[in-house]
Homo-oligomer: A and B are copies of this chain.
Amino acid sequence: MTVSDRLNGDLPLRDADSVAADIAPDATVLTSGFGSVGYPKLVPLALAADDRDLALTLVSSGNVGDEIDVELVESGAIARRFTYQSSEVARAATNRRDIAFSDRNASSMGDDVQYRGVVDPDVCVVEAVAVGPDWFVPSTSLGQVPAFVEAADELVVEVNAAQPLELQALHDIYRPDAPPNRDPVPLTDPGERIGSTRVEFDPEKLTAVVESDRPDDTYTFRDPTEDDLAIAENLGDFLTRELERSPVFEDAIHLQFGVGSLGNALMGELKELDFGGRDVVYFGELIQDGLFDMLDEGRLEAASATSLALTTEGQERLFDDVERYAEDIVLRPADVSNHPGLIDQFGVVGVNSAIEFDIYGNVNSTHVNGSRMINGVGGSADFNRNSLVSVCALPSTIKDGEISRVVPMAFHVDHTEHDIDVFVTEQGVADVRGLSPVERAERIIENCAHPAFVDDLRDYLADVKTQDAHIPMDVERAANWQ
Contact = CB atoms under 8 A, between A and B. Distances in A.
Interface in A308-359: 339-342, 344-348
Contact of A184 (B96, B179, B185): B185
A373 interface: yes
Nearest to A83: B418
A388 B179 contact: yes
A202 B104 CA distance: 45
Quick one: which of A248, A433, A469 has the most chain B CB within 10 A?
A469
Contact of A436 (B102, B183, B186): B102
Contacts of A346: 179-182
Given A181-B346, A339-B341, A411 B475 contact: yes
Contacts of A385: 340, 385
B468 A118 contact: no
Given A372-B468, A411-B473, 9 more contacts: A80-B434, A111-B344, A179-B344, A179-B345, A180-B281, A339-B341, A340-B385, A367-B470, A370-B475
A252 B185 CA distance: 21
Contact of A345 (B184, B347, B372, B471): B184
A389 B105 CA distance: 14
Nearest to A92: B468
A342 B176 CA distance: 13
A414 B419 CA distance: 10
| Shortest Cβ-Cβ A-B pairs, 5 listed | A341-B341, A179-B347, A118-B434, A184-B184, A340-B340
A94 interface: yes
Contacts of A179: 248, 344-347, 388
Contacts of A184: 184-188, 341, 345
